[in-house]
Amino acid sequence: MITLTINGKKHQLDVAPEMPLLWALRDVLNMTGTKYGCGMSLCGACTVHLDGEPTRSCTLPVSAAKNKSVTTIEGLSEQGDHPVQQAWQDLNVPQCGYCQSGQMMSAAALLAKNASPSDGDIDSAMQGNICRCGTYPRIREAIHQAAKKQSAS
Amino acid sequence: MNYFEQINQTDAEYLQEQLKQRNDLFNVSRRSFLRNLGIGTGSLVLGLQLPAVSAVPMKWADKPAADNVFSPSVYLKIAKDNTVTVIVHRSEMGQGIRTSLPMIVADELEVDWNNIAVEQALGDSKYGSQNTDGSRSVRRFFTPLREAAASARTMLTQAAAKKWKVAVNECVAKNSFIVHSNSNRKLSFGELVDDAMDLEVPKKESLSFKSPEQFNFINQDKQVALVDGKDIAMGNTSFGIDIQREGMKVAVIARPPVIASKVKSFDATEAKKVKGVVDIVQLDNMTEPPFFKPLGGIAVIADNTWAATEARKKLKITWDWSEHREHSSKKQKQALKESSKTASNVLRNKGDTTAALGNTKQRIHAEYYTPALIHAPMEPPMATAEFKDGIMHVWACTQTPQSSQRTVSQMTGIEPDKVKIYVTLLGGGFGRKSKPDFLVEAAILAKKQGYPVKVIWTREDEVQHGYYHAESYQQLTAAIDDQKVTAWQHHVAEPPIGSTFNAKAKHITSEANLGLIDMPYNIPNVRCASGEADAHHRIGWLRSVTNVNHIFAAGSFVDELAHHLNKDPKDFLLEMIGDDRHIDLSEQAEYGNYGEDIKQYPIDTARLKGVIRKAAENSGWDNKRKDNHFMGISAHRSFASYVATVVEVSKTKDNKVKLENIWMVSDSGTVVNLERVRSQMEGAAIFGISIVKYGEITSENGMVEQSNFHNYRVARITDVPNIHVDVLINNEPPGGVGEPGVPPIAPAICNAIFAATGKRFRELPLYQQNIFAS
Ligand code: FES
Ligand code: FES
């Protein structure tokens, strides 16, 4: 049994310790907001926060998440009103939407550290997240907007 | 894109005829009708008669495909609580269709947007074509949906007039109400449902439509929040991969690494030891042609995805290789080069190109090569099936629920009406999810195992077992006499999509419509032809299909000609296109025109020049360029829309380039959801950047060499310059939007690189060329 703290709640899991957190979330806990895109830390679709750090859950063994706090897209806010989630909705950032949980988790982690990132900061924080639909211009814009909103509140 | 509908003129004509005859509305909520069907009443339901199209044209099939079936209906439901439910029968894959189709209804019917609800349709031929490809959801359903909405509006208005005992023409629909302004009375749509249900559906000829200045959404610059926007922001969406069923197991499949190879023997001892593995199942071998059949192999079924993929690694399989084991991309390229030289299969002919090329003083020749590509949607194919009480239920991210239904039925022996296809959201499609092989795998396993099965395609599976965009070798030759281009010869050799359905197919057919025979330049001698090409993978269609390669070559070549003649590339493009006219290819080629009537959707040179001029204006093409900044241009009409692109690069000291700006100008006639059209153009530009920089599938020993995003790279945020989109709006009928933005990107980038560095790249991709500054 492995105990994980996910979005502030404790969960007991009976899984192989090397199972990646992504599949524990999706297949065992039925939390499907976190997506699979590559399984090799190449695309960022599976990004969650591990003690606040953006982390690719597809290559993180569940055992490595023990005693740490995991935040997934479902836990980013109660109502979907985190500044990043708001900006994503205001600007209609998504196309298919599949990559966007990971994009928002990376963006939220960036803004937690850097309250007003430059385009360059955004590019380097977000370059691990692929969007095949090509929403990058809006992602940049939305991060700037979320930054403004965050600093205003 | 779907081809199938536009491939041959006969199909297209038949379709249009049917469309004309069958496109009538009927009121399925009339009480008697509903009573007969045993359906409860309570909402006004309008059906639409729309055409359905079989997935595979007879011509391409070894055995006959399912018949063309024509039956109703796209439904609109108006409930007593004022909710207008639009049943969206097309798949959402990022183009915004679940928002845009309801906008058509909301506009024409005058619904308050807050009262709109969206329901996703099951796969059912009664909805008409559900093949979400070919950039035609709005193109094909704009008018039918407006008719449905106008009929509903008329009936609600009549119901109100009757109630108030006033003349119908004194009543108007406004924001989910019918208003009688003379007496200041109003009734909500919901209050009128009961009365409207007893009325006859008005004749189509009697309908009146909103005029353009009355539109709320159509052709307006008004952003509407995506209907799924909030769910996406909260991670609440349901994609193909997200389906969970009670008692469900997860399967991954070890498919033959070389297509049409068979399992000779396998040893699953080690695989079975992995904790969580439930069963190992051998699937039937695939016999060619591949159609939409599963590829065969060994399925590993487990409690969870991790156990399944770990166990798959431990399978020991010996393969009995097919003849495709001999295939290598290097050999293939050489073979295509040879066969495109002579290109015996003439697809367009005007004048005498051979003579003109023989007699000219200046003959210009260039050869282009583009590799195979794979779709790489962020969500690979995913399907979950459950066989219960004789009914096969399949949930999947499919672009084509009807051909899924038919194929599942054919391959499992379950009657089509006992196969239910539920369309989830698609994490991107780009054409991959038009092919239902992955649904069939799930259905076969669910039927055999007796419990629900989700088949997961890993990224490796997606990259290595796809329906590939084919590699293409192209030879272009032109004659220049007295500073004018007098002959244009475009020869191609590329494995045809037809080979997926007919093992004997070696020549392209409908692919020629896409950027080859529709060449718009006014040149007296033209020859477009194809050479034979063997397919060694399943060939499919990918966003904008062969426009990608044809326009890379033709759009680069015309730029080469401009430089030969020392002319400004933009001015030269305009000069080559020539006078304002509708291009008539009827004497020179069999042109499919994306399945559209050429009178309604002509090849209009004025519109093509219009987007070019606008792109030049927006980019400041004619102004003095910034130091070390250079531009390239390209334009193309596809899917009945016109797009021009100007790309600006800057040059570094070491003669490398950096993408600075991309200007896109599109003209797709009437626009329903302007903001989504812009987002499609942004996405298309980035899809194009992926093609230019990175996209390349190669094979050795018949096996695909790429496997994941490290060696099949796609554009990241760092690859993307500023993208400026300008959508021209007019009252022409709507054209396609999802695909037309892609084709001009590759030539425009390469033309800009040439302007900057003098290096002409005739082969894609460029990542190994050391040309982009990091
Ligand atoms: S799925 Fe984890 S980075 Fe791609
Ligand atoms: S929105 Fe589709 S992959 Fe990003």
Q: What range defines the domain where residue B721 resides? A: 329-374+468-769
pLDDT at B55 over 90: no
Tell me phi and psi for residue B395, to 5 degrees.
Answer: -105, 125
Q: Are residues B210 and B351 in the same domain?
A: no
Q: Quick check: is B774 in a domain?
A: no
Mean pLDDT (whole number) for B692-708: 98
* CA-nearest residue, atom 3 of ligand 2: A131
pLDDT at B559 over 60: yes
Cis peptide before B765 (omega within 30 of 0): yes
Domains annotated for chain A, with CATH where assigned, are 2-75 (3.10.20.30), 83-152 (1.10.150.120)
Give B-chain residues touching A76 at CB under 8 angstroms. Answer: 234
Q: Are residues B498 and B605 in the same domain?
A: yes
pLDDT greater at residue B465 or residue B195: B465
Tell me phi and psi for residue B714, to 5 degrees.
Answer: -130, 165
pLDDT band at residue B35 using 50, 70 and 90 as cut-offs: very low
- As a whole number of angstroms, the distance between CA B343 and CA B358 comes to 17
- Overall number of domains in chain B: 3
pLDDT band at residue B21 using 50, 70 and 90 as cut-offs: very low
Q: Are residues B514 and B439 in the same domain?
A: no
pLDDT band at residue B197 using 50, 70 and 90 as cut-offs: confident
Q: Quick check: is B445 in a domain?
A: yes
Atom of ligand 2 nearest to the CA of A133: 2
Q: Are residues B634 and B730 in the same domain?
A: yes
Q: Give per-residue pLDDT as tens, B269-284.
A: 999 999 999 999 999 9
Q: Is B664 on the interface with A (CB under 8 A)?
A: no
Q: Are residues B370 and B386 in the same domain?
A: no
What is the ipTM, given to two decimal places? 0.98
Final residue in a domain of this structure, among B234, B250, B280 = B234
Check residue B318 and give left, alpha or beta (phi > 0: left; psi -120 to 50: alpha): beta
Alpha carbons within 13 A on the beta-carbon side of A44: 21
Q: Give per-residue pLDDT as tens, B653-689.
A: 999 999 999 999 999 999 999 999 999 999 999 999 9
Q: Quick check: is B462 in a domain?
A: no
- As a whole number of angstroms, the distance between CA B135 and CA B553 comes to 23
Mean pLDDT (whole number) for B625-637: 97
- Mean pLDDT is lowest, of A31-35, A134-138, B199-203, B445-449, for B199-203
Per-residue burial over B563-577, b if 16 or more Cβ lie within 10 Å, else e, is bebeebbbebbbbbb
Report percent pLDDT > 70 for chain B: 90
Instruction: For chain A, give the mean pLDDT.
Output: 97
Strands B70-72 and B453-456, bridge-based pairing: unpaired
Selected for mutation to probe chain A from B717, B722, B745 (highest A CB count within 10 Å) is B717
pLDDT at B72 over 90: no
Q: Are residues B577 and B443 in the same domain?
A: no
Give B-chain residues touching A140 at CB under 8 angstroms. Answer: 717
Mean pLDDT (whole number) for B5-28: 36
Question: Among B115, B94, B14, which Cα is nearest to B679's?
Answer: B94
CA of B308 to the centre of ligand 1 (A): 18
The residue assigned the tokens 């399945």 is B595
Final residue in a domain of this structure, among B211, B234, B257 = B234
Which member of B708, B709, B718 has the closest CB to residue A127? Answer: B718
Q: Give per-residue pLDDT as tens, B576-620.
A: 999 999 999 999 999 999 999 999 999 999 999 999 999 999 999
Inter-residue contact B429 to B397 (CB < 8 Å)? yes
Q: Give B4's contacts (C-beta < 8 A, 6+ positions apart).
A: B11, B53, B54, B55, B56, B57, B60, B131
Final residue in a domain of this structure, among B415, B436, B456 = B456
Q: Are residues B312 and B209 in the same domain?
A: no
Give me the pLDDT at residue B75, please.
Answer: 60
Which member of B93, B275, B709 has the closest CB to residue A130? Answer: B709
Instruction: For chain B, give the mean pLDDT.
Output: 90
pLDDT at B8 over 60: no
Residue A89, classed as helix, strand or coil, is: helix
Q: Are residues B336 and B247 in the same domain?
A: no
Give me the pLDDT at residue A96, please.
Answer: 98
Q: Are residues B588 and B485 in the same domain?
A: yes
CA of A22 to the centre of ligand 1 (A): 9
Q: Give per-residue pLDDT as tens, A29-51.
A: 999 999 999 999 999 999 999 99
Q: Quick check: is B461 in a domain?
A: no
CATH number, domain of B631, equals 3.30.365.10
Alpha helices (H) in A16-118, listed in sequence order: 21-23, 83-90, 100-113
CA B574 to chain centroid: 29
Residue of A131, A136, A138, A140 best suited for mutating to test ligand 2, as the one with most atoms within 8 Å of CB: A131
- As a whole number of angstroms, the distance between CA B86 and CA B144 comes to 13
Residue B641, classed as helix, strand or coil, is: strand
Q: What is the end-to-end Cα distance of chain A in Å, rounded?
A: 42
What does each C-alpha distance from A83 to A55, A70, B361, B515 come to in angstroms?
20, 20, 66, 44
Give me the pLDDT at residue B45, please.
Answer: 58
Q: Give per-residue pLDDT as tens, B238-248.
A: 999 999 999 99
Q: Are residues B296 and B346 in the same domain?
A: no
Mean pLDDT (whole number) for A139-152: 96
Alpha carbons within 13 A on the beta-carbon side of B695: 26
Q: Are residues B416 and B491 in the same domain?
A: no
Q: Is B95 on the interface with A (CB under 8 A)?
A: yes
Q: Give per-residue pLDDT as tens, B324-333.
A: 999 999 999 9
Q: Are residues B619 and B759 in the same domain?
A: yes
Inter-residue contact B666 to B722 (CB < 8 Å)? no
Give me the pLDDT at residue B691, please.
Answer: 98
Give me the pLDDT at residue B123, please.
Answer: 87
Question: Among A147, A149, A135, A21, which Cα is nearest to B686's?
Answer: A135
Considering only the C-alpha atoms of chain B, give the largest distance between any 2 of them, rounded to a whole number of Å.
84
Inter-residue contact B115 to B176 (CB < 8 Å)? yes
Question: Among B11, B271, B48, B258, which Cα is nearest to B147's?
Answer: B48
Q: Name the residue of chain B whose CA is nearest to A26's CA.
A: B242
Q: Name the residue of chain A whose CA is nearest to B722's CA.
A: A137
Beta bridge partners of B527: B349, B489
